[in-house]
């Protein structure tokens, strides 16, 4: 691969845009990391029947670690893109720069990986939110069913339409 004027100019134009996206994402990850650390606090667990306390802390820890890892990945990409930007600008500034160098390959890899990450991050975030939403709904439904069953056994919850009512002693079920 050869470094050409058109390629170097493209790298010089595109790399700052990806770096800007990375800076915005990095700010998002720092904010997420701070918020999740603020949300985690001892005393959230209320007893052996309370799965929400430990589960909430695990979810917050995973979110915080995920934000930290994503932020580190963005930092690495931003450094590589800054280096690609500097290489392409230096090549454009030097008319005697060799065309057959590893700079073109490095710039190409840095841009492609940066662009892939820009596209991949929102998709991964959406998938994570969908899965978390489904899991949360499932846990809420199970908790609702357990509580409803407990209340039914205690006789404190009206039955739903179509559910058979328990017969009181003395009821025959015949029209009087």
Q: What is the pLDDT of residues 16-74, one digit of tens each?
A: 999 998 888 888 877 876 776 666 554 444 444 444 555 566 666 677 777 778 888 88
Alpha-carbon gap, residue 106 to 114, rounded angstroms:
12
| Residue 46 falls inside a structural domain | yes
| Residue 139 falls inside a structural domain | no
Structural domain count of the chain: 1
Answer yes or no: are the C-beta atoms of 103 and 7 closer than 8 Å: no
Q: Which of these, 118, 84, 113, 78, lies nearest to 7 by C-alpha position?
A: 84
Instruction: Give 110's contacts (C-beta < 8 A, 6+ positions apart).
Output: 15, 77, 80, 81, 83, 84
Q: What is the pTM of this model?
A: 0.61
Query: 74 is in which domain, residue-wise?
Result: 5-120
Alpha-carbon gap, residue 136 to 56, rounded angstroms:
10
Q: What is the pLDDT of residue 83?
A: 94
| Residue 61 falls inside a structural domain | yes
Q: Say if residue 79's pLDDT is above 90.
A: yes
| Residue 96 falls inside a structural domain | yes
Q: Say if residue 104's pLDDT is above 70.
A: yes
| Residue 127 falls inside a structural domain | no
Answer yes or no: are the C-beta atoms of 28 and 63 closer than 8 Å: no
Question: How far from each other are the two terminal CA atoms of the chain, in whole angstroms?
Answer: 95
Q: Read off the tokens for 112.
A: 């492609």
Confidence class of residue 135 from pLDDT cuts 50, 70 and 90? confident
Confidence class of residue 82 from pLDDT cuts 50, 70 and 90? very high
């Amino acid at each position: 691969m050869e470094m050409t004027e058109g390629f170097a100019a493209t790298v010089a134009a595109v790399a700052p845009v990806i770096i800007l996206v990375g800076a915005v994402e990095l700010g998002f990850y720092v904010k997420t990391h701070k918020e999740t650390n603020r949300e985690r606090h001892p005393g959230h667990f209320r007893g052996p029947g309370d799965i929400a306390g430990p589960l909430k802390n695990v979810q917050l820890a995973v979110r915080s670690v995920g934000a930290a890892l994503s932020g580190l990945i963005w930092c690495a990409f931003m450094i590589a893109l800054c280096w690609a930007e500097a290489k392409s600008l230096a090549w454009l500034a030097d008319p005697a720069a060799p065309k057959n160098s590893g700079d073109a390959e490095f710039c190409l890899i840095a841009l492609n990986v940066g662009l892939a990450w820009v596209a991949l991050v929102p998709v991964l975030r959406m998938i994570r939110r969908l899965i978390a939403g489904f899991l949360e709904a499932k846990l809420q439904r199970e908790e609702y069913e357990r509580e409803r069953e407990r209340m039914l056994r205690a006789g404190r919850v009206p039955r739903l339409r179509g559910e058979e009512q328990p017969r009181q002693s003395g009821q025959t079920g015949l029209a009087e």
